[in-house]
A and B are shown apart, each in its own frame.
Chain A
Amino acid sequence: MIKIAIYGKGGIGKSTTASNLSAALSQLGMKVMQIGCDPKSDSTKALMGGKAIPTVLDRIREKGVEQVRMEDIVFRGFNGILCVEAGGPTPGIGCAGRGIITAFQLLEELGAYREFNPDVVLYDVLGDVVCGGFAMPIREGYADKVFVVTSGEMMALYAASNIVSAVRKFENRGYARMGGVILNKRNVEDEDELVMKAVKEMDSELIYTVPRDKAVQQSEQLGKTVIEALPESEMSGHYRALAKKVLEVCGCELL
C-alpha cells in the first residue's frame, strides 16, 4: 500500500491536484482512497460529481461515535475511488486539529484500510502543519511520503518551506519522508526560476510542473476532475504523467 500526503498553502490547488492524481492513479488500475483532512471538506468534491459528502465528524455529531458505520463515511466516487472527508468542528469553536485525530482514530477502529485494502491512500491536508492534528497524516502508520504543492507566489513558497521543515523535524520519529515539491503554476513572473531556487534551499526536489490551463476551471464547473471531464486534453496528460512520477518516487513497481 502506498500512502501519500499532499500539503501546501490554502487555495494553491491541493485538492485539484490530489483529485486528478487519484483519478489518474485509478485509471492505472489502482484502488485509490482519498481522505480530505480539511474542515472545509471539499477535497473529494470533484470525484463525487460536484457533490459534498457527509464528513466523519458530521456523522459522529449525528449518530454518536459508537454508532457510525463504514458506509456512513466512505463513499465511492469516479472510477471506484473511495472518498472520505474528515470534516471539522462547528466553525468558530472546537478544535480542528483534534477533529482530524478523532476522524483518523475512527477510520482505524472501523478497520477501513483493512476492509478496502487500497493500493494507494492519499491524504489531502489543510494548508500547513499548524498543530499536532494536522501532522497526523504524516505520523507512523499513515503517509510514507509527503508531496508539497506550491506556486511561485511568495506566500505559497513560505508555506512550502514551513511544511518541509516540519517533515524534516519529525524524521527521528519515523514519520513520513519528503517525496518532493509539485509546482502548480500561477504564471507569476520568473515562476520556474523562483520555485527551483526555493526548492534547492529546502534541500528537496521539484518532481513535476503542472501548467496553468483553463481545462481545470472548465472541469471544476462540471463538478469533475480533468481526467473525467476532458480525458483527451493536454492537462489530463500532465496529471497522468504526475501520477507516474509520484509512483516512481514512492518506489512503486507497478510501472
Chain B
Amino acid sequence: MKNLWITLPAYAPDYSGICSAFFDLGGISVVHDASGCTGNYTGYDEPRWFGTKSKVFCSGLREIDAVMGNDEKLLANIISAGEDIRPAVYSVIGSPVPMVIGSDMKGIARELEARTGVPSFGFDTNGLHLYDEGISEALCALIRRFTAKPEKRISEGINILGTNPLDFANNGNDLMLAQSLEEKGYKIVGKMMMGASIEQIKALASAEINLVVSVSGLAAAKLMEARFGIPYVAGNIVGNSGEVFGMLEQTRADGRSRVITDKAEDGILIIGEQVFANSLRRAIKNACPGAGVTVALMAGCQKTLQGAGDVALTDEDSVRRLLSRGKFQTLIADPLFGELPEAEKLKLIPLPHAALSSKLYWDSAPHFIGCDGEKIISAAIESAK
C-alpha cells in the first residue's frame, strides 16, 4: 500500500533538522508543540543529544493555547529559560498544530528578538518535510543574517557545508574530513553545522570555495554563490579517493561549480544521502570501471546532484518495487532496508544512516575516509564480479 511505512521507520523530519543545525551554536531551540515528542528531537533524531544535557525545549502547547492564539505564554517561557542559560541565539520551531492554526513562527522570533536583543530565528516547519530541508533552511537563514561581504578572500580558504550527525553519524567523520582538507593545504573558514560558531558564519564569505558534503548544504552553497560569487564542489571523500581534491583545484582555477554525479546502471543499488551516495558510486567506478551503480534517495533528492536514471523514492512501497525489479545484486544501505522481504536475495553492505535508523547502528557507523570507506568500496566491487 502506498504511503504506509510498515517495515521502515519514518526519516527524521524538518524540525529535527533545525534542532540539529543549531546544536553547536550555544543557543536555545524551542519546538512549539504539545510536548511528549521531545524525546524524538533530543534522543533519537540527534545522536549528540542522546544522554547529554540539551538546550531544546517543547513549548507544551495546549488546546486552549491553540484556540486562544496564546503566543504570549510561549514568549514568556522562552524568555524565562533564557535568563538562566544566556543563549547566543534562539530558534523557534513550528510543528503540525502551529501550522494548522497559522502561528507565525518568524513573527514570534522577531518579537522575541525585540524583547531580548538576542538574535532569534523562526521556522515554519511542520513535520511534513524531511530533516535535510530543515537543515537547509537553518543554514540559509544563518547566512542571510550573519554572513558579511568580506574585505578580502583567504587564499585556499574553504567552507564545509552540510555536516550533520543525521548523515555523518557522530564518530568523527566531520573531523576527519576537515583534517584531510587541512593536510592538502586548505584553511577551514567555516563548518556548517558540526563544529559551527556564529563567528565562523560571519566570516564564511571570505572563503574561496565551498565544499558541499551533504544535500543539506547545497542550498547554502547556491545562496553563497549568488550572493558572494563563491563556487562550490559537491562531493565527499570516500575511502582513499582523491576525486574531490582534483575537483576543488579545477573549481578554484576556473570558478565553475562542480558536482560528483554519474549515470545510473544496474548492478549495485545505493540508498542513502545523495552527495555521499554519488561520491561512493564514483569511488566504486574509479576502482572498477565496469561496475554498474544506481543511487536511490528516500530523502533530499536534488536535481543538481541527480544522475540520469537515479531514482527518487517516495515511500516504502516504491523501495519495494525498485528492489523487486531484479536489476540489482547488491544493496548498500542502512541495515533496516535489509529487513524488507524484497531485499532478501540481495547482498547487503551495511551503511547505517542515523536519519532513518537513529541510534540502532550508531556504534557501527563507518568512517567515510580511510579503511572503513575502502572496505565498503571493496565489498561492492567483490559483489559486482
Residues of B within 8 A of A139 (CB): 104, 106-107
A231: Cβ under 8 A from any B Cβ: no
Residues 60-96 (chain A) with a chain B CB within 8 angstroms = 95
Write out, one digit per residue, whether chain A residues 110-142 have a CB within 8 A of any chain B CB (1) or not (0).
000000000000000000000111011001100
In contact, A173 and B102 (Cβ under 8 angstroms):
no
B226: Cβ under 8 A from any A Cβ: no
Residues of B within 8 A of A98 (CB): 100-102
Size class of the B contact interface (CB-based, 8 Å): 10 to 19
**Interchain nearest-CB distance for B213 vs A (Å):** 29
Size class of the A contact interface (CB-based, 8 Å): 10 to 19
Residues 124-173 (chain A) with a chain B CB within 8 angstroms = 131-133, 135-136, 139-140, 170, 172-173
A247: Cβ under 8 A from any B Cβ: no
**Interchain nearest-CB distance for B343 vs A (Å):** 30
Residue of A nearest to B124 (CB): A105
Known: A131-B69, A172-B114. A136 touches B107 (CB 8 A): no
In contact, B107 and A140 (Cβ under 8 angstroms):
yes
Q: How far is the CA of A133 from the CA of B103 in the complex (A)?
A: 9
Known: A131-B69, A132-B69. A97 touches B110 (CB 8 A): no
**Interchain nearest-CB distance for A95 vs B (Å):** 8
Residues of A within 8 A of B102 (CB): 97-98, 101, 131-133, 135-136
Residue of B nearest to A175 (CB): B107
Known: A131-B69, A132-B69. A174 touches B104 (CB 8 A): no
Q: How far is the CA of A164 from the CA of B107 in the complex (A)?
A: 18
In contact, A173 and B103 (Cβ under 8 angstroms):
no
Q: How far is the CA of A136 from the CA of B106 in the complex (A)?
A: 12
In contact, B69 and A173 (Cβ under 8 angstroms):
no
Residues of B within 8 A of A136 (CB): 102
28 cross-chain CB contacts under 8 A: A95-B100, A97-B102, A98-B100, A98-B101, A98-B102, A101-B102, A131-B69, A131-B101, A132-B101, A132-B103, A135-B102, A135-B104, A136-B102, A139-B104, A140-B106, A140-B110, A172-B110, A172-B111, A172-B115, A173-B104, A173-B106, A173-B108, A173-B110, A173-B111, A173-B114, A174-B107, A174-B110, A175-B107
Q: Chain B: residues with CB nearer than 8 A to chain A?
A: 69, 100-104, 106-108, 110-111, 114-115
Q: Chain A: residues with CB nearer than 8 A to chain B?
A: 95, 97-98, 101, 131-133, 135-136, 139-140, 170, 172-175
